[in-house]
């Protein structure tokens, strides 16, 4: 295992700034994800750590060693590509052995390590299979085994599940996470998929236009977004324009569509400042009665009701803006129809005022 330190890392392609002054400390044994839409710098950052892209500005350390000027083969890093990069003319055994043979490892040692790697990824008995004879999930396991057999200090994965269908992606993300935990290897993962990042990661760096927008645990990223981009990119939120009326150092009183509400804040705000109040739909409760004093509670008309299987989605009209509530189907929900009025309530701390 090794830690990774990134210090003031930037990358230009001509005049385009693809990665903008990134600094991070990734701990030994951590599963760390870069999460962003396509084209926001996450894969470029990963490729610089691997050595596939030149480090022009900044430094990269692995296990305390500055590797910024080293070629990929000298960094002792394992990289799993999006398309797996399995050699179609080689069987599974030879694909996994390939890197060891390049290193001139003794054949007896190669056999021992290949068979151990096959066992690690649950592919024992597949030694003689070729790429065309395997499913996408099996190919992914072979790609991982080929990297792990070289015993790298850290493991890098670039969108490794994007080519798989939905059901297989769900299966593989838990499998990869469980494998990483059992091996204890420092892992850096790149994805645009919020579900993958939230499920698999110890910590996440959300990137926006080449910059780090927020770093935190999955729960922190989801429940305590620090800016509007993170709020809107991670999951679904009600994002309601507001104006700050009062701030007591902890809780803000805001005007939303002519209605006065109370909310937690992402950072200090000032009276008269414009921003948005963000609120997750699952944090909104629907009932025929008003709630207690530590809650916001409004009686609002229903715009739509949508059955979504496990959830029922209510859309309300709040001063001309939409307020969405998602209520578990197994929870009693009022028998109501469009245009009826119901109380919409949420805890003060469930809302979050953001001004950037």
The closest alpha carbon to 62, from 190, 185, 215, belongs to 185
- State residue 332's pLDDT score: 67
* Mean pLDDT value of segment 111-139: 93
- State residue 273's pLDDT score: 95
DSSP string, 273-313: -EEEEEE-GGG-EEESS---TTEEEEEEEEEEEEE-SSEEE
DSSP string, 32-53: EEEE--TTSSHHHHHHHHHTSS
Instruction: Give the 3-state secondary structure of residue 270.
Output: coil
Instruction: Please state, as a whole number, how many other Cβ atoms lie within 10 Å of the Cβ of residue 279.
Output: 25
Give the pLDDT band (50/70/90) at residue 294: confident
Q: Above 70 in pLDDT, residue 105?
A: yes
Q: Above 80 in pLDDT, residue 334?
A: no
Q: Above 90 in pLDDT, residue 201?
A: yes
Token pair in block for residue 335: 């028998």
- State residue 26's pLDDT score: 98
CA distance 57 to 16: 14
Of how many residues is the chain composed? 356
Element (H, E) at 95: helix 92-102
- State residue 132's pLDDT score: 92
Give the pLDDT band (50/70/90) at residue 163: confident
What average pLDDT does the structure give for the chain? Answer: 93
Give the pLDDT band (50/70/90) at residue 59: very high
- State residue 1's pLDDT score: 76
Pairing of strands 4-13, 57-62: antiparallel
Q: Are 324 and 313 in contact (CB under 8 A)?
A: yes
Task: Please report, rounded to a whole number, the percentage of residues in the chain having pLDDT higher than 70.
Answer: 100
Q: Are 58 and 29 in contact (CB under 8 A)?
A: no
Q: What is the three-state SS of 124-139? A: CCCCCCCHHHCCHHHH
Backbone angles phi, psi at 259, to 5 degrees: -110, 135
pLDDT digits (tens, 9 = 90+) for 63-77: 999 999 999 999 999
DSSP string, 314-326: EEEEETTEEEEEE
């Amino acid at each position: 295992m090794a830690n990774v330190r990134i210090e003031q890392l930037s990358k230009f392609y001509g005049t385009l700034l693809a990665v903008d002054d990134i600094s991070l400390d990734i701990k030994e044994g951590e599963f760390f994800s870069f999460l962003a839409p396509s084209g926001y710098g996450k894969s470029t950052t990963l490729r610089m750590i691997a050595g596939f892209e030149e480090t022009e500005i900044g430094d990269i350390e692995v296990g305390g060693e500055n590797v910024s000027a080293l070629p990929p083969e000298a960094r002792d890093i394992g990289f799993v590509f999006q398309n797996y990069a399995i050699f179609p003319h080689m069987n599974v055994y030879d694909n996994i052995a390939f890197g060891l043979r390049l290193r001139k490892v003794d054949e007896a040692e190669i056999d021992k390590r290949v068979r151990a790697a096959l066992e690690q990824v649950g592919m024992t008995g597949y030694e003689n299979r070729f790429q065309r004879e395997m499913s996408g999930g099996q190919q992914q396991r072979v790609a991982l085994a080929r990297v792990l057999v070289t015993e790298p200090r850290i493991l890098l994965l670039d969108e490794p599940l994007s080519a798989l269908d939905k059901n297989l992606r769900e299966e593989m993300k838990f499998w990869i996470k469980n494998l990483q935990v059992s091996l204890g290897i420092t892992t850096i993962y790149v994805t645009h998929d919020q579900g993958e990042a939230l499920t698999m990661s110890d910590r996440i760096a959300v990137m926006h236009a080449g910059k780090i927008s927020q770093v935190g645990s999955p729960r922190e990223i989801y429940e305590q977004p620090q800016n509007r981009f993170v709020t809107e990119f991670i999951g679904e939120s009600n994002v309601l324009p507001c104006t700050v009326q009062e701030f007591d150092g902890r809780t803000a009183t805001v005007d939303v569509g002519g209605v006065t509400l109370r909310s937690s804040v992402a950072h200090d705000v000032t009276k008269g400042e414009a921003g948005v109040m963000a609120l997750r739909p699952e944090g909104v409760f629907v009932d025929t009665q008003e709630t207690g004093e530590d809650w916001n509670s409004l009686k609002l008309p229903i715009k739509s009701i949508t059955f979504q299987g496990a959830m029922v989605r209510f859309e309300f009209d709040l001063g001309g803006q939409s307020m969405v509530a998602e209520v578990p189907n197994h929870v009693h929900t009022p028998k109501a129809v469009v245009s009826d009025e119901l109380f919409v309530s949420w805890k003060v701390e469930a809302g979050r005022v953001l001004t950037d």
